[in-house]
Amino acid sequence: MTGRPRVLGPVVDDATRCIHYRTPLDVVALKFACCGEYYPCHLCHAEAAGHPARQWPRSDRREHAVLCGVCGHELTIAEYLEVDACPRCAAAFNPGCSLHAHLYFEV
């Protein structure tokens, strides 16, 4: 795990699963625009960050703000919004995460 960004909040395993989302497909952590820190989910950020979350604006789609918990690859926001699995290791991402995209990214 050397070189991987740290993931804050109640993480339960090395694949960035948390106490809120821990299915086999919950292997993504998101960097929050407000603090530049990775958290497994919006609930983890709300509980641990001590400040309100801020969405990434559309103009920042090239920012590396999504971490694959399986291999540690950082995806740009644009990449993440276009795929259903990690482009490096092919680990599948939870399709239900798209329901929460508006919490992280301006849509």
- pLDDT digit string, tens, across residues 44-102: 999 999 999 999 999 999 999 999 999 999 999 999 999 999 999 999 999 999 999 99
According to the model, what pLDDT value does residue 3 have?
A: 85
**Every domain of the chain and the residues it spans:** 28-104
Cβ atoms of residues 10 and 41 within 8 Å: no
User: What are the structure tokens assigned to 44, written together?
Assistant: 């983890």
Backbone angles phi, psi at 18, to 5 degrees: -130, 180
| CA separation for the pair 58, 75 (Å, rounded) | 15
Q: Smallest Cα–Cα separation from 61: which of 36, 43, 34, 81?
A: 81
Cβ atoms of residues 15 and 5 within 8 Å: no
According to the model, what pLDDT value does residue 2 have?
A: 55
Q: pTM of the entire structure? A: 0.94
Q: How confident is the model at residue 25 (pLDDT cuts 50, 70, 90)?
A: very high
Enter the DSSP assignment of 60.
G
According to the model, what pLDDT value does residue 55 have?
A: 97
According to the model, what pLDDT value does residue 22 have?
A: 94
According to the model, what pLDDT value does residue 1 have?
A: 43
| CA separation for the pair 49, 6 (Å, rounded) | 14
